[in-house]
Chains A and B, each alone.
Chain A
């Protein structure tokens, strides 16, 4: 025990004395965080929607690059050969190295959270669950790091191998690019990468309902981690002269790869391949009082206040993201056959297209048009979210029965058409019509910036009306509604 404790202690000291380790383990993730902060500067609550991605990148760097680099470099120098002369099992020393790396990762994660909070992110309320998720992700990636260390003969080989895993995970594995922005094929591929489960588990604890909604991800991380640890320990090489090619026992790699494939297959079989719906809003996981400048909507919205809430026609298809929407999918749907509220009516009213504005309202419409052009939520990084935010403005004007309510759908429609190619807008509007209850809505503060009184009391109804507007505008784009 004394040997293990001292080895952990010393490994940590060496870690913090190593500039390269600090660069990869601490500075690199901070650069990522700043980049996310700048990239998603129009987010309602800074960075909270990206905690999963940021922490995953932090763990990936430390576990899949840092750990194997250290292990292989020490092996090349003969450090592990020297350890072998001691009466302590090699497994004890490997466990010490892993434990030290985990502590370093927790430190890097805390630094990430602290900086994110300094930039306006609220304190995570589900901190304990976040720590559990963080531990599971670390376990999975440290196992992977151990496997990389057994595969690579030299430090440059670690870098090459690490990149082969790191980059695909970043780009199509759901780590740096949101799943909702990925094409259909990439969503299927991402199910076979642990990065996706890592982001989901961590994000669920940051803005969702905690680990309860990320059970599959948690299981996947533990299975992948255990498989990596088994493979890594069975194939561990302490001697630089033992080259991988000449070494036996390569069959253990099947265990590590099998876990990836098995969990991907399970996700496919259980229908968990679709991009998870964005968490409605982060209240359940955030201590709102700690972020007074941001007013966030409740995670679970109250039932509709109106007795006769608007019914949104049901879609026949369930596209996993707006990118997965196809024209035949829309054409085969019966959205436009359903009875939509009439345009001249009280619910989702619209003036006829190109009708001249009433003189007394012209100024107000112009003002809204200008305000929307620089409105934060209309600049969201996700095209689908941008369109939804604009539709929600139209829905809010409708609910609040403001004077220009019949004009607002056209104002937002014009802005959408300016910013999105027609086919993309068609896909997004259809996808919104099919998912009116899952997308985050603008905050009170953001709506007040448009001189609205804030969010309407009945958000569900507002969502439904916004979705009706989506169908009405989609119908016009497709020529199905005149």
Chain B
């Protein structure tokens, strides 16, 4: 049977399209009406706290779970109807995959290669993932980093168009993380698509062209990290140290100021209009003859966005 692009879909130009995805486990709604698209050649991250529905969404895309509702297309193919054809074009590395203790990387790659129509050269894969020296070592003798590299080699074995990685950096040391970043970047340079889940904000910010922030089974924000920061958190944080203590009452009338704290000669506040607030502040200091010892103005970060959107900040 030949897999055909999904009918009535305007989204065949996207590498991955998820629409109205829902999945419940008993009474628990793990994924609630999730929709997003991933463009070809893009690194798309799904960011969210534990239990946000990231892995369930990924599992529905990979065919490990049947969604209760919704559609999934990969490379224009309906993944729910043509699972095997989609799997031929996807490479995946899961969060917790261990292989048999006595299996060697060479055997594992050869076995998984036999499952696919398209196959990359075994020795080239071993070399690419720095496993040549360990090609004949048993799995139980490999380090954590080597196991992760093997998992990635297995994901690359069919020269996939879309690479799906579930928490790929979990448990890796800094140098292994760096290697993995390089591999993902190389994959992107080859024009391939990456969809990954993570709960590490710095990783998402560094690697991803776009991210979707998940919370309690929903997408609460989606876009490029820079745009999200700009859109979701326009406030700037101002920190000021003065030459002598200020009267907090005098600062209360500053325009567009929120969350003001004044502890003697140290002042903190956020403002949605930094130019206006700072101009008024400087005028006030000049009128009172108070000097500026230190002044900083900081924009919001992705972490601020994440915490704000996932409600973690409120819990803090």
Contacts and interface: CB of A to CB of B under 8 A. Distances in A.
A88 B107 contact: no
A6 B110 CA distance: 8
Nearest to A16: B102
A78 B102 contact: no
A482 interface: no
A5 B154 CA distance: 19
Nearest to B90: A85
B84 A85 contact: no
B112 interface: yes
Given A10-B103, A78-B98, A85-B64, A3 B85 contact: no
A418 interface: no
A219 B309 CA distance: 65
Given A78-B94, A79-B98, A79-B100, A87 B114 contact: no
Contact of A85 (B87, B96, B101, B102): B87
B157 to A, nearest CB: 9
A360 B90 CA distance: 98
B170 to A, nearest CB: 13
Nearest to A86: B115
A14 B87 contact: no
A77 B62 CA distance: 19
Given A85-B92, A87-B85, A14 B111 contact: no
Nearest to B103: A14
Contacts of B92: 85
A79 B85 contact: no
B98 A77 contact: yes
B102 A82 contact: no
A87 B99 CA distance: 18
Contact of A78 (B84, B97, B107, B110): B97
A84 B62 CA distance: 9
Given A85-B92, A87-B84, A14 B114 contact: no
B99 A79 contact: yes
B88 interface: yes
B102 A17 contact: yes
A379 interface: no
A77 B63 CA distance: 19
A82 B97 CA distance: 7
Given A6-B110, A13-B107, A87-B88, A81 B98 contact: no
A2 interface: yes
Contacts of A84: 63-64
Interface residues of A, number: 23
Interface in A65-118: 74, 77-79, 81-82, 84-89
B107 A18 contact: no
Contacts of A18: 101-102
Given A13-B107, A78-B96, A81-B94, A87 B116 contact: yes
A473 to B, nearest CB: 63
Interface in B68-115: 83-85, 87-88, 90, 92, 94, 96-103, 107, 110-112, 114-115
A14 B102 CA distance: 6
A7 interface: yes
A17 B102 CA distance: 7
A88 B115 CA distance: 6
Nearest to A238: B64
A314 B122 CA distance: 77
Contacts of B94: 78, 81-82, 85
A421 B99 CA distance: 60
Contacts of B111: 6-7, 10
B115 A77 contact: no
Nearest to A74: B100
B64 A81 contact: yes
B100 to A, nearest CB: 5
A5 B114 CA distance: 9
Contacts of A86: 87, 112, 115-116
Nearest to A13: B107
A10 B115 CA distance: 13
Contacts of A79: 97-100
B151 to A, nearest CB: 8
Nearest to B98: A77
Contacts of A14: 100, 102-103
Contacts of A7: 111, 114
Contact of A6 (B83, B88, B114): B114
Interface string A434-455: 0000000000000000000000
Contacts of B85: 87
Nearest to B110: A6
Nearest to B157: A86
Nearest to B92: A85
A89 B83 CA distance: 10
Nearest to B88: A87
Nearest to B25: A246
Interface of A: 2-3, 5-7, 10, 13-14, 17-18, 74, 77-79, 81-82, 84-89, 239
Given A3-B115, A17-B102, A82-B99, 4 more contacts: A79-B98, A81-B94, A82-B154, A239-B64
5 shortest A-B CB distances, which residue pairs? A87-B87, A86-B115, A17-B102, A77-B98, A87-B84
5 contacts: A10-B103, A10-B107, A81-B97, A85-B92, A239-B64
